[in-house]
Amino acid sequence: MNTGTDKNPKRRREKLKGTSTILFLFAGAFLLGAIGWLLIPSEVLTERNTTEFNATFSHTYPDSFNEIITKEHEVGFVTAFTSGRENAIITEAFTTLETGSPITFRIRNADIQRMANARGLIQIVALTIEDVEIITLDSTNRNARDISREASFGFAAAGGAFLFAAIACRLIHINKKKTNTSQTILISS
């Protein structure tokens, strides 16, 4: 009857060695991912690679990523901010907007075609309501950098955890090997 435990010490050592090798591979992949997030430059948004639009506010869905709808466009517009101080300011601004209020916003030039085809949600990268800047290009760029840094830290933490587990497995493997070797010497004496 198989109880789920392997009685063969050599087989258990080999399993530990295989497990630690797999964990080392995962650690390497996650640590490379962390480095990748830091090395891949995020797009810096400027007035040259974004386009400004004037529109009339229709309605909003503040519970769904601060989505707003304008009378002129058949797509929804969302902000990149989902937490923090900026999100609170945006949510407050959206809840005070009245139907028919004029807004000015910027989107990436790459999103203009999607907006024209009324496809998907378009990210607003700058927003002005009644001459008050709610979202600026600088705040959007800073948010993108923060997200990239957080992702990099997450990958590094996961890689560190896998590395720690791999080293622990390898040390257990080495200790079992030494213990079994010393037991073999004592038995043969």
* In the predicted structure, residue 80 carries a pLDDT above the cut 80: no
* In the predicted structure, residue 1 carries a pLDDT above the cut 50: no
User: What string of H, E and C letters represents the secondary structure of the chain?
Assistant: CCCCCCCCHHHHHHHHHHHHHHHHHHHHHHHHHHHHHHHCCCCCCCCCCEEEEEEEEEEEECCCCCEEEECCCCCEEEECCCCHHHHHHHHHHHHHCCCCCEEEEEEEHHHHHHHHCCCCEEEECEEEECCEEEECHHHHHHHHHHHHHHHHHHHHHHHHHHHHHHHHHHHHHHHHHHHHHHHHHHHHC
* Number of neighbouring beta carbons within 10 Å of residue 122: 19
* pLDDT one-digit tens code per residue, 54-75: 999 888 765 665 778 888 888 8
pTM of the model: 0.66
* pLDDT one-digit tens code per residue, 97-151: 888 989 999 999 999 988 888 777 888 899 888 888 888 899 888 888 887 888 8
Query: What integer best gives the mean pLDDT of the chain?
Result: 80
* pLDDT one-digit tens code per residue, 26-59: 888 888 888 887 777 778 899 999 999 999 988 8
